[in-house]
Chain A
């Protein structure tokens, strides 16, 4: 059976087995989102390797598994003991196996002008607002997994920061999974809107309490209005058996600044898609990240930056540490259209290969139709320099520690840009434990 049919069957079965759960929703806004996505899906085939953006992705192992939405009414009594920020100094939103968990969340002291909430906790009116915005944005229109996320829409987060409002406390979102009777399908959708001159800091963490097998299929839509400023950290630290697929769709108005750092560490199969579009001038978008690959792991980063307006700046800077016989994919595309003069777009992807027989597919793509731009791209694959190893060991540092220092040093080219110390320290810790 060819892979496109396998994918279609898999999706139909997933839809069918989750139908009872979906029908429970009495909320019109949710039903509308689901219905629209299902309609869109009629014109799409599930991804397969014949499609250019999926040609490096092994989907069959995913399509062999069946995942179910969490139908439990009770709230899981779990404990998340690892947070980046102390409770009093942050807002917390927690989703466990795809369901909002109010016990673990905390929004103390939040001004009622600001919305930080699970979709399911919003008033009917606000649910309709959010649903309408999501449908208008209609991100990842032709991505069947994104439409699958919408067609089985159950919950997500809505963050709305009114104009000229700066949220000083970081918002720490944890998508937590743990083993349960079924292999869980976790499908959150979040929507973050910063109005003119608003500022916020959001950390999204994708994690597991054990070695659970599940499929995380999430989307984050972000809209930055004029001069809005968002720092967005995403830390994928899923279980070793997890399938992780997450998308970010970003729209930026005049003068807005988006700073984003992605860590892709866990999962047996992981793919992050980021699509950004400038809808105004003088905006800047900074995408950075570190990914690691261990034995049998597949880790994929797909980025699509569209410059359709003049005078915008974008940077993509990703570092891969391949320490096992797995596979890494980096696909970074920058499109500069005819009118996007004075664009400054830089793309760099470097990989550190620590084993033989690993596979790295790195594919930088610059498509430039404007004639007055500053653009560059570069990718490398290299090994640890033996001179560097010798230098550290000649100063008494044991071999394994020297190796770790050099790997962290390689990642540091990205991590040094993180302005929030607690996040930087947390990521350093994660990487040290991993390598």
Chain B
């Protein structure tokens, strides 16, 4: 599915990723944990194609294709989905119109028929119920006046509609209370399948109680310094990141 090799990336002349390696196979859920500023979000952004990052060296293959050959929208059309840490508000752009346009853009390039208004409405209501997003928010402008939790649920709603091959959750748990966290995690779990891979970027272990990862990685100083099972996340919860950073420095 995804193969990142020796990835070096800088932002405004500052090195952020310094030799990142990651292999994700179909159906796997990988958690990326790490202290603030370790490069977790940079990695998520690079995968989605956000600009402002300079590739120094290294490669990313997605479904055996060089990811850097694809534009932002092409990546989305081929199944990469980034649930944003800070979903932007789009004043004047109706949420329903946006969801429909997004879905149909992806269907068009993949040779599928566009959904008509009735079929789309049925589908979107079904998925909105899954993430417990009030229907009235579908009629509003995208994310405008949404609470933090509603914005995150709207992200997961989009993921549920677009059914990506690779879902990347960028600190989706940040700012959520326990109820919202549970709803978001249920939404994500409903999407788990043997064909769909996920990368869950998080600072806290709590989300991983709800979304059980296959592999946990610790990203520090721009590299993955340790990988393990769910128990690694629990260990980090208990001891913090300090000991790993020390071991890595030694």
Asked if A and B bind, the verdict is yes
Residues of A within 8 A of B (CB): 385-388, 390-399, 401-402, 405-406, 408-413, 416
CA distance A164 to B190 in the complex (A): 60
Q: What are 18 inter-chain pairs, A to B, with CB distance below 8 A?
A: A391-B84, A391-B90, A392-B98, A393-B76, A394-B75, A394-B76, A395-B158, A395-B162, A396-B73, A396-B77, A396-B102, A397-B102, A398-B105, A408-B93, A409-B90, A411-B92, A412-B92, A412-B93
CA distance A413 to B105 in the complex (A): 25
CA distance A408 to B91 in the complex (A): 10
Query: Is there a chain A Cβ closer than 8 Å to B48's Cβ?
Result: yes
Cβ contact within 8 Å between B76 and A396: yes
In the A-B complex, list the 9 residue pairs whose CB atoms are closest, starting with the nearest: A409-B92, A412-B92, A396-B76, A395-B102, A393-B72, A409-B93, A396-B106, A393-B73, A396-B105
A415 CB to nearest B CB, Å: 8
Q: Could you say which residues of chain B place their CB within 8 Å of the CB of A413? A: 91-92
Given A393-B49, A397-B105; 16 other pairs, CB 8 A cutoff: A387-B88, A388-B88, A388-B90, A390-B50, A390-B51, A393-B72, A394-B81, A395-B98, A395-B162, A396-B77, A398-B73, A402-B73, A406-B93, A409-B90, A409-B91, A410-B92
B interface size (C-beta, 8 A)? 30
Query: Is there a chain A Cβ closer than 8 Å to B132's Cβ?
Result: no
Query: Is there a chain A Cβ closer than 8 Å to B209's Cβ?
Result: no
Q: Could you say which residues of chain B place their CB within 8 Å of the CB of A394? A: 48-50, 72-73, 75-76, 81-82, 84
Question: Of A385, A390, A409, which is within 8 A of B141 by CB?
Answer: A409
Query: Is there a chain A Cβ closer than 8 Å to B193's Cβ?
Result: no
Cβ contact within 8 Å between B92 and A408: yes
Residues of B within 8 A of A (CB): 48-51, 71-73, 75-77, 81-82, 84, 87-88, 90-93, 97-98, 101-103, 105-106, 109, 141, 158, 162
Q: Could you say which residues of chain A place their CB within 8 Å of the CB of B158? A: 395
CA distance A394 to B168 in the complex (A): 12
Q: Could you say which residues of chain B place their CB within 8 Å of the CB of A405? A: 93, 97-98, 101
Q: When A393-B71, A394-B82, A396-B77 are in contact, do A401 and B93 touch as well, CB less than 8 Å?
A: no
Q: Could you say which residues of chain B place their CB within 8 Å of the CB of A409? A: 90-93, 141
Q: Could you say which residues of chain B place their CB within 8 Å of the CB of A410? A: 91-92
Q: Name the residue on B nearest A386 (C-beta).
A: B51
CA distance A161 to B183 in the complex (A): 58
Q: Could you say which residues of chain B place their CB within 8 Å of the CB of A396? A: 73, 76-77, 102-103, 105-106, 109, 162
A319 CB to nearest B CB, Å: 9
A384 CB to nearest B CB, Å: 11
Q: Could you say which residues of chain B place their CB within 8 Å of the CB of A391? A: 84, 87-88, 90
B168 CB to nearest A CB, Å: 10
A64 CB to nearest B CB, Å: 40
CA distance A16 to B102 in the complex (A): 60
B107 CB to nearest A CB, Å: 9
Q: Name the residue on A nearest B141 (C-beta).
A: A409
Q: Name the residue on A nearest B48 (C-beta).
A: A394
B31 CB to nearest A CB, Å: 21
Q: Could you say which residues of chain A place their CB within 8 Å of the CB of B50? A: 390, 394
CA distance A390 to B93 in the complex (A): 14
Q: When A394-B82, A397-B105, A405-B93 are in contact, do A385 and B88 touch as well, CB less than 8 Å?
A: yes
Q: Could you say which residues of chain A place their CB within 8 Å of the CB of B91? A: 409-410, 412-413
A127 CB to nearest B CB, Å: 46
CA distance A387 to B49 in the complex (A): 12
Q: Name the residue on A nearest B49 (C-beta).
A: A394
A158 CB to nearest B CB, Å: 38
Cβ contact within 8 Å between B73 and A397: yes
CA distance A408 to B94 in the complex (A): 10
B199 CB to nearest A CB, Å: 15
Q: Could you say which residues of chain A place their CB within 8 Å of the CB of B102? A: 392, 395-397
A392 CB to nearest B CB, Å: 7
Cβ contact within 8 Å between A390 and B92: no
Cβ contact within 8 Å between B76 and A395: yes
Cβ contact within 8 Å between A406 and B72: no
| Residue of A396, A398, A406, A412 ringed by the most chain B CB atoms within 10 A | A396
Q: Could you say which residues of chain A place their CB within 8 Å of the CB of B98? A: 392, 395, 405
CA distance A409 to B76 in the complex (A): 22
Q: Name the residue on A nearest B80 (C-beta).
A: A394
B177 CB to nearest A CB, Å: 24
A81 CB to nearest B CB, Å: 26
Q: Could you say which residues of chain B place their CB within 8 Å of the CB of A395? A: 76, 98, 102, 105, 158, 162
B127 CB to nearest A CB, Å: 14
Q: Could you say which residues of chain B place their CB within 8 Å of the CB of A416? A: 92
A101 CB to nearest B CB, Å: 38
